[in-house]
Amino acid sequence: MAKLKEFKEIKLQDLAISEGQVRLSGVGKDIDELAESIKKQGLLQPIVVCPAKKEGKYEVLLGQRRIQAYQVLQKDTILAAVLDERVDPITAKIISLTENLVRRDLNRRDMIDVCTVLYKKYGSMKDVADATGLPYQKVRSYVNYDRLKPELRKMVDNKMIDQKVALRAQDAASASGKYIPDDAIKFATEMKSLDSTQQTELVRKRESDPDVLANDVIEAVKSGPKSTEIKLKLGVVEYRSLDKYAKAEETTIEDAAMTLITEGLTNKGVLEE
């Protein structure tokens, strides 16, 4: 049975992925995020390798994603735990499977908890992003989920509405300074059938007149002026960036574009009331 021999830095060019790796799909997912995390925190866990058939080369048993992240960071070497003998493919698969069963990737709930704790400590989403290496938009999404009221959080968890709709409904239901659960549920239920412009308008109307009844605000928005559709050509880089932002916000690309346009107009001070 192979045993740990030593820890040492090994050149990436001397590594080959073992046939025993069980993680075959989604290997490259979020590699940029992992690379950024390693850049911020360092390599918290060495890869595991064994000698390859070719002298001076090694087979990677655990850590192919870490190697990919190191390639993104343009590193030449990586710290590895080296076994004292070569491992056959079947044994390699057992080792790889065991690690992936024991060391589950953090799920969304875990990420929400971690980011929320860090946000409460640092007081800034940017600081959390800087400390963890996570994209700012994902940190914001995780932290915002935690501030949802129970009834809206349940609707999100049950996929009745997306998180952005829940947040807008909560804002509208809190316009008077006091959160009204029944209004929040009513707003959320109606908002999911409205486009992002109408959702934003609903929140704006409720905030301008907090005493107006929820049903009246909803009816006013539904019967009000319709949205104007425009066609906009984006470059490849801009489209990919917008798509990445939309996925991080867990919303549609149209809603993401509308959000950015609204924020931009507001920041420039030209958004008409």
- pLDDT per position as a tens digit, 117-141: 888 888 888 888 877 777 777 888 8
pLDDT, averaged per 10 consecutive residues of the chain (273 residues), comes to: 86 83 52 87 87 90 89 94 83 62 56 81 82 77 88 92 91 93 96 87 92 93 79 87 79 80 79 64
241-265 confidence digits (pLDDT tens): 888 888 777 677 887 887 788 778 8
Place of tokens 């104007």: 228
Distance CA 262, CA 12 (A): 46
Residues paired with residue 47 on neighbouring β-strands, in sequence order: 80
* Ramachandran area for residue 61 (φ above 0: left; ψ -120 to 50: alpha; else beta): alpha
Q: What is the pTM of this model?
A: 0.54
Please give the backbone phi and psi of residue 222, each rounded to the nearest 5 degrees, phi first: -65, -35
User: How far is it, in rounded angstroms, from Cα 1 to Cα 85?
Assistant: 8
**H-helix segments, the chain:** 31-41, 64-72, 89-102, 108-122, 125-132, 136-146, 150-157, 163-173, 181-191, 196-208, 214-223, 236-249, 253-268
